[in-house]
Amino acid sequence: MAEKLAPEKRHSFLHNGQEVFEWDQTLEEVNIYINLPPNVHSKQFYCKIQSRHVELGIKGNPPYLDHELTCPVKTDSSFWTLEDGIMHITLQKRDKGQTWASPIQGQGQLDPYSTDLEQKRLMLQRFQEEFLCRTLDLTSHKLSFRATVPIQGPSWVEFTQINNYSLWHL
């Protein structure tokens, strides 16, 4: 299977100049990373993930985050872990491929340019996944058409038609 197009860097959500969390996304999930305060035992932290809401903090204190999510998630596939002083929350998108401008509704939205870049990266990832899935299933089909055609500039692309599927090779 193709390498997933991981984000080049995480997005930061800042409030009053302080980093609240970092986040990134793939076609299927949104990941939130929160630096934990030192000298607090891991058993004191909690995280509740609901379809459209996330709450987390230290037991016995007001929640650190208590917000609506931008889009719904699959609660049975979403989870959180603690490792090396970081809480990592994995939210499984209910709608695969949907681009989130922020994990938290109305907070830390990406600017339009960054949102566009995220959407293009996810579209390319989806194309790669679907294209590879189709080509892997073609091993038993007969070749019915093959041609080499010029594309923009001096490059050429080889086009192969196998039954109802098309393959391009640079």
Q: Which pLDDT value is given to residue 7?
A: 60
Q: Which pLDDT value is given to residue 60?
A: 95
Q: Which pLDDT value is given to residue 16?
A: 84
Instruction: Point out which residues pair with 74 in neighbouring strands.
Output: 92
Determine the residue type at 70.
T
pTM over 0.75: no
Q: Which pLDDT value is given to residue 6?
A: 54
CA distances from 133 to 14, 48, 90, 119 (A): 39, 35, 25, 21
Report the candidate in 65, 85, 90, 74 with the shortest Cα–Cα distance to residue 13: 65
pLDDT along the chain (170 residues), means of 10: 57 84 91 93 95 96 94 96 95 91 83 77 75 52 46 48 47
Rounded distance, CA 69 to CA 49, Å?
10
- Ranges assigned E (strand) in the chain: 11-15, 18-25, 29-35, 45-50, 53-58, 65-68, 73-83, 86-93, 143-150, 156-162, 165-169
